[in-house]
Chains A and B, each alone.
Chain A
Amino acid sequence: MSVKYTPVQWNANKYGYDLVLIGMVVLYILSFLNVAPMFLDHARPTDGPIVRARAFGTCAFLLLTIILCIGPLARLDARFLPLLYNRRHFGVLTSVIALSHAMFVMDWYFNFAPQSKLEGLLGANTSYGQVLGFPFEVLGLAGLICLGILAATSHDFWLNFLTPRLWKALHFLIYPAFAAVVGHIALGSLQSQDNSIFAIVVGLSTALVCGLHALAAWKERGCDKRGNADAGWIIVGDAGDIEEGRAKIIKLPNGDRVAVFRHKARLSAIANACAHQNGPLGEGRIVDGCVTCPWHGFQYRVADGRSPAPFTEMVPTYRLKLDQTTVLVDPNANEPGMFVEPTALPEHMQ
């Protein structure tokens, strides 16, 4: 979204995504409010605010788990890419639900404290030196602050202002946030429950998130081919291996990845990282003459790495040459947006 900060990219898919998301959250919370009290195993009926706090708390945890699973799932199977498309709205909704959980808790447990609610929350238990009895509320607060930062900086302005690199670094806060939330639940709610269903759900969710990340990293490691050098140029491979409208990704000695595209029997190379959120351009395809990022649909002309007007995003380009049918790339990146004449394939390969 580089052309003014107006909602130019809102479309039926995004509206549909958000409607389904909000519908599922409402359904979950209503179900929890009506069904969970029957399984809470309390001697007396549980108060409404406690059940509401639990409904929103469990909902936030499940949403956080799903958010963390979307990334690796999309790396493992392209059919999950549509979930990635609007993941930021998922994140904002999660932080709102987590905040609602915190408000219910504060309004119930600290409403009549002589000091402010926050002071009551932070001062009620200060046993930081022990595991059992650790002030788990602080872990929840830490997770909530992390989620708040992520939600507050989710607008595309922040990506452009902070740079994708710094924005991504900031958004890696999702991992300590998840760790804090797991600690908050394990040292809090799970310590006081006889019923082990929720402990099993938390354990399985944690294992799922960790397992999917490990699988995705394993797959990426297997696909990551490092190009061999030939007199300063890096060997990409045989030109015949690159499908029309698709790319081959190669890793340079400095760790950067280059996507070599074939379009209309000519080859061009651009950086593999999208200027928007560093999505893998080389896993996208050419649509209407432009490389299209598989994550959010940002487009770049293949010869100069520039987004078509009126958009202004750019990525670095690379020079290519052919040695018979072997494609070689110059590892020195050109300035972002610099035109490089595409390399024509030999006639017998066209």
Chain B
Amino acid sequence: MGTVSNVLMFAEWWLYFGAAVAFYFLTVGIERIDENARGAYVFRPLLIPGVLLIWPLVLWRIAVLERNKPEGFGRYRPLRTAHGYVWLVLFFAIPAIFVTAMLLKQTWPADIPAVRLSPAEAVSQ
């Protein structure tokens, strides 16, 4: 149980840090880096689950946007390099998982005809 407890403790601390980041970001940070968010409050609670889950990415983006450097054309360029990885998952990983699981599937013992192991006369009941 030691490993499991450690994993759960890590997840717990991850969420605590996320809550701290969410508090800062949704009260102060968001207005500094996104002018469209100034004066718009109703949508902010919707962002809390996202910040809790990906807070390191949020901190990194705040740092990038605070520097006020133009982000160049990268912002407008579609992500085509990831298509190879999608192919790998769709056409290798998923069929492999499904086919392997079906090939290794065991039949239920109930499907196997009963075999008498002891002669009838040796059975008392």
Give chain A's interface residues, CB within 8 Å of chain B: 2-6, 115-116, 118-119, 122-123, 126, 131-132, 145, 148-149, 151-153, 155, 157-158, 160-166, 168-170, 172, 175-176, 178-179, 182-183, 186-187, 190-191, 194, 199, 202-203, 206, 209-210, 213-214, 217, 255-256, 271, 273, 275, 278, 312, 315-316, 333, 336
Contact = CB atoms under 8 A, between A and B. Distances in A.
A153 B54 contact: yes
Nearest to B44: A5
A70 B48 CA distance: 28
What is the predominant secondary structure among interface residues of chain A facing chain B? Answer: helix
Given A157-B34, A206-B94, A213 B86 contact: yes
6 contacts: A115-B1, A116-B8, A122-B7, A152-B53, A194-B111, A199-B102
Contact of A182 (B1, B54, B77, B97): B97
Interface of B: 1, 3-5, 7-8, 33-34, 36-37, 39-40, 42-43, 46-47, 49-50, 52-54, 57-58, 61, 65, 71, 73-80, 82-83, 85-87, 89-91, 93-95, 97-98, 100-102, 104-106, 108, 111
A169 B79 contact: yes
A131 B3 CA distance: 21
A5 B91 contact: no
B97 A169 contact: no
Contact of A131 (B49, B50, B89, B100): B100
Given A4-B40, A119-B5, A206-B95, A149 B54 contact: yes
Contact of B71 (A163, A178, A213): A163
A155 B33 CA distance: 17
B53 to A, nearest CB: 5
Query: What 5 A-B pairs are tightest by C-beta distance, nearest first?
Result: A186-B101, A152-B49, A152-B50, A5-B43, A123-B4
Q: Which of A3, A5, A118, A190 has the most CB of B within 10 A?
A: A5
B23 to A, nearest CB: 17
A182 B53 contact: no
Contact of B94 (A119, A182, A315): A182
B64 to A, nearest CB: 9
Contacts of B85: 172, 175
Contacts of B100: 131
A110 to B, nearest CB: 13
Contacts of B8: 116, 118-119, 122
Contacts of B36: 2-5, 160, 312
Q: Which of B3, B86, B90, B100 has the most CB of A within 10 A?
A: B90
Contacts of B4: 119, 122-123, 126
A4 B58 CA distance: 20
Given A119-B8, A152-B50, A273 B78 contact: yes
Contacts of B76: 164, 271, 273, 275, 315-316, 336
Contact of A165 (B46, B49, B79, B111): B79
A183 B101 contact: yes
